[in-house]
Amino acid sequence: MEMLLGAPPLTSYDAVANPIMGWDAKPSNSAPYTATLPAQSIVCEATPALETLSASDPMRKIILESQGMDFVHPDSAPARRLNELIWKSVKGANSEMPAPRYSQGLQDSDED
């Protein structure tokens, strides 16, 4: 894209990358795509039913909090808290999510 625009490379990765040349009007690869499916055990994993968890189970709190978030409207769920809940659901309820890192000039706009 930089070459098309006549712009210099934006990063060192762009500077050393080989350009993609030789575009055609149609694809030159006619081989069919074969998807690699994940293991059935991964696909069948599910969040435990709320009624199967005791009141003291930390996963119950995670499920209840995430159920109260707005997933109907785009970008309405509080991003930082949702990321933390996802982290804890995967890494363990007592695990600590690493602090977010930002590029210079970017700030966290998630005030919730």
28-78 residue pLDDT tens:
777 888 999 888 877 777 778 889 999 999 999 999 999 999 999 999 999
- Of the candidates 83, 97, 99, 95, the residue with the CA atom closest to the CA atom of residue 58: 95
Q: Is residue 97 part of a domain?
A: no
Q: Is residue 82 part of a domain?
A: yes
88-99 residue pLDDT tens:
988 988 999 998
How many structural domains are present in the chain? 1
Is 50 exceeded by the pLDDT of residue 87?
A: yes
Q: Is residue 18 part of a domain?
A: no
Q: Is residue 83 part of a domain?
A: yes
Q: Is residue 70 part of a domain?
A: yes
Q: How many CB atoms lie within 10 A of CB 62?
A: 19
Q: Which domain holds residue 53?
A: 47-91
